[in-house]
């Protein structure tokens, strides 16, 4: 594997020595991102695709992922915060871009000035209008309705009023209602009935908005699981996050079964390899003891790197074999039991060997799904929480010809 020599946590030496291989890295394959965007855009067609790149593109790096997604056919970008949207604009990305989670501290003026579309659940409207007046530029807004998730979005009771006010401001030229949207609660569990209820509510609010004179360019409801399993939720635009990173939103289906390729590989190298006697306790709490004479491998990643502390048993592949983490995961490190290798008696030491926590799973290797199971969480959290202490290494930066 080769890495670009330009970026990341290792400073180039003053003596122009060759850049050393990374001690730890999250390798981000932009060709996998492009593949997944093409796959999801085909599933969504004729609806357009918004690539959701909030939270630094679920830990993959917002700017390179946004560029790759646009290259592969995404026509919109989505983020939670206005600050995330402004960072994309500052990087020169001028695609349609929506931010939907605000506080009274959010910089609506900067959003209007940068041509960032603003999700509006109700209270934001007056602030958005004030920002439009101040910037002497109409705001672009997407009205958000809560069809059942119980988070952001106007309640169905408040919808009439919000739509009426927005139309008045639109008539005054202060804003344009570009979109109407809502978010699904249980699309990852296709057998549950609530998605149908949310869809019916969404159709109802669209009719109300239409009657009030709103004619949005884009009506959008679907996330990754709905994009893959519910064509009736696609409308004009789907908002896809998890899938573009190549991960499955469904418990019973793998990435490969969905035609997706996980884009992030987290790996490091073995930091210590030593023989220990039977009964050796391992890591804080001594919760694991070697069942016999054994060889321990030290893996220099821990919860400060974003490996969940609760994920004892999570897989690490070294030299083609996948081992479970034994004992507690610490801030900087964790341990695998390599079996009795007798390194002191001439057995091959694995010091410095590549250790992979998860990758694309193509060759039977460990996956983010495995770590999610070990941690009692979902794959979203596994990739998103990989911390800034793990340098991102982008590969396949330019599209294949
Ligand atoms: C995060 C988010 C998405 C993307 O969801 P995925 O399940 O990752 O596809 C879509 N819409 C909204 C409002 C979101 O917050």
**What is the residue-level pLDDT of the chain in tens, covering all 401 positions?**
333 333 433 444 445 555 556 899 999 999 999 999 999 999 999 999 999 999 999 999 999 999 999 999 999 999 999 999 999 999 999 999 999 999 999 999 999 999 999 999 999 999 999 999 999 999 999 999 999 999 999 999 999 999 999 999 999 999 999 999 999 999 999 999 999 999 999 999 999 999 999 999 999 999 999 999 999 999 999 999 999 999 999 999 999 999 999 999 999 999 999 999 999 999 999 999 999 999 999 999 999 999 999 999 999 999 999 999 999 999 999 999 999 999 999 999 999 999 999 999 999 999 999 999 999 999 999 999 999 999 999 999 998 77
Fold exhibited by the domain 30-247: TIM Barrel (3.20.20)
Which pLDDT score is estimated for 6? 39
Give the ligand 1 atom nearest the CA of 188: 7
User: Catalytic residue numbers?
Assistant: 54, 284
Which pLDDT score is estimated for 401? 74
Task: Tell me which of 241, 243, 255 to substitute to probe ligand 1's pocket, judged by most ligand atoms within 8 Å of the beta carbon.
Answer: 241
Architecture of domain 264-395: Beta Barrel (2.40)
Give the ligand 1 atom nearest the CA of 52: 4
Which pLDDT score is estimated for 400? 78
* Polymer length in residues for the chain: 401
What gap in Å lies between CA 362 and CA 368, rounded to an integer?
12
By C-alpha distance, which of 88, 86, 90, 127 is closest to 110? 86
What gap in Å lies between CA 261 and CA 242, rounded to an integer?
11
Classify the C-alpha dihedral 167-173-174-176 as positive or negative.
Answer: positive
The residue ranges of every structural domain in the chain are 30-247, 264-395
What gap in Å lies between CA 116 and CA 93, rounded to an integer?
11
Which pLDDT score is estimated for 1? 35
Which pLDDT score is estimated for 312? 98
Task: Tell me which of 218, 223, 230, 383 to substitute to probe ligand 1's pocket, judged by most ligand atoms within 8 Å of the beta carbon.
Answer: 223
Which pLDDT score is estimated for 59? 98
What gap in Å lies between CA 284 and CA 197, rounded to an integer?
49
Task: Give ligand 1 pocket residues (Cβ under 6 A).
Answer: 52, 54, 100, 183, 223-224, 239-242, 249
């Amino acid at each position: 594997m080769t890495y670009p020599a330009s970026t990341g946590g290792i400073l180039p030496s003053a003596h122009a020595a060759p850049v050393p291989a990374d001690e730890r890295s999250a390798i981000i394959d932009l060709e996998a991102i492009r593949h997944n965007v093409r796959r999801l855009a085909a599933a969504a067609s004729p609806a357009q695709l918004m690539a959701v790149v909030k939270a630094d593109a679920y830990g993959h790096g917002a700017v390179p992922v946004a560029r790759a997604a646009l290259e592969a056919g995404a026509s919109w970008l989505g983020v939670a915060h206005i600050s995330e949207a402004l960072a994309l604009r500052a990087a020169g990305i001028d695609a349609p871009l929506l931010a939907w989670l605000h506080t009274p501290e959010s910089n609506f003026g900067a959003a209007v000035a940068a041509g960032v579309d603003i999700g509006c659940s109700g209270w934001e409207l007056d602030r958005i209008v004030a920002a439009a007046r101040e910037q002497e530029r109409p705001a672009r807004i997407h009205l958000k309705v809560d069809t059942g998730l119980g988070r952001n979005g106007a309640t169905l009771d408040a919808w009439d009023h919000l739509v009426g006010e927005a139309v008045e401001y639109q008539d005054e030229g202060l804003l344009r209602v570009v979109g109407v949207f809502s978010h699904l609660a249980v699309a990852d569990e296709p057998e549950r009935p609530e998605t149908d209820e949310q869809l019916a509510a969404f159709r109802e609010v669209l009719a109300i908005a239409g009657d009030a004179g709103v004619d949005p360019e884009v009506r959008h409801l679907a996330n990754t699981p709905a994009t893959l399993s519910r064509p009736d939720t696609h409308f004009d635009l789907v908002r896809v996050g998890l899938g573009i990173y190549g991960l499955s939103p469904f418990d019973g289906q793998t990435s490969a079964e969905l035609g997706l390729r996980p884009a992030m590989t987290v790996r490091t190298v073995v930091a210590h390899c030593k023989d220990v006697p039977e009964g050796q306790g391992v890591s804080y709490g001594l919760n694991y003891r070697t069942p016999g004479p054994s060889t321990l491998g030290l893996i220099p990643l821990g919860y400060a790197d974003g490996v969940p502390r609760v994920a004892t048993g999570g897989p690490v592949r070294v030299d083609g074999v996948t081992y479970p983490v034994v004992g507690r995961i610490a801030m900087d490190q964790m341990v695998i039991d390599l079996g009795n290798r007798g390194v002191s008696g001439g057995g091959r030491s694995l010091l410095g060997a590549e250790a992979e926590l998860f990758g694309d799973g193509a060759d039977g290797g460990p996956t983010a799904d495995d770590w999610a199971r070990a941690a009692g969480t979902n794959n979203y959290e596994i990739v998103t929480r990989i911390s800034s202490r793990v340098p991102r290494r982008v590969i396949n930066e330019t599209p294949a010809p």
